[in-house]
Structure 1
Amino acid sequence: MQPEIAGGNEQAEVTADVPVDHFTNIVLDGKALKLSPKTVNHVFYELSEHDELKVLYLRLSGNEGGGLHSKEWIAIDDVFTLLNEQEDKPFKSTVFKSAFKGSSANNTGFLAACCRGLGLIIPTEKSVFLHQLAPDYEQRREELLSLVDGETKSE
């Protein structure tokens, strides 16, 4: 004979660890023409404020016409750091390689297209695949940074 358990038959509640999405505040949803002059297809991107850090992040969210890419969020400050190093010289899309953890071959070109769409860089006269900082790069950078309030920004 089994002893009676006081309090009834309660089940333990099991909860799974759900990853926290820090990027629910999308401040800009944009699209930019791909770099190749042979296409009219676009790359899509999102800018989001990290809900705890209060800093801006960017991700490639999609594209027309195919091409795999990483959808990871990258700190826009990392992109600005890479761009700031390119002052007064033409550069290739590969300068963005270190911004990504993912290794898709399209990441750098798609990010360069986004930077053009955001008005941060322009093509050089020599090649549509070479870039230079836009004449109003610093102003555009500040306009983008102003999309977040930055009250609890950590350094």
Structure 2
Amino acid sequence: MAKAFTIGALSRESGVNLETIRFYERSGLLPEPLRSASGYRHYQAIDVRRLRFIRRGRELGFSLEEIKALLALAGEPHSPCAQADRLVHEHLQAIEARIQDLQRMKAELSKLAGCDSQQAEHCCLLEALDSRECCSAGDARPS
């Protein structure tokens, strides 16, 4: 018989937190494990592999729904890869959009950084957040 893992051992082997494992069970990403007569969960090596797959998918930024789809594809090894490839392309587009958003945020924050005002009333960031222009960037700021 294959080695059974407790939830603690499964957590250590997979690198996934205990509560996250329970959440994945409730959400259907991880099948309900067999239970001992005393109610303890017993997992198999396939569950370790599945959790590592899920963890890696999350590290790459895939949603739980996308991971469910990828798990289904992984369960049918002779099916075409087109759906997985489509998910990768969609995910790359979303990442590119996020990078552009982050670059815009960085540029805006760079304009606001380095405020030399001694008072919050004239703080560049607070002025920008409050949509007021007490002191424009080129003006001398009161101390």
TM-score higher than 0.5 here? Answer: no
Which is bigger in relative contact order (C-alpha 8 A, separation at least 6)?
Answer: 1
TM-score (norm 2): 0.23
From the CA coordinates, give the structure whose radius of gyration is larger: 2
Give 1 or 2: higher helix fraction.
Answer: 2
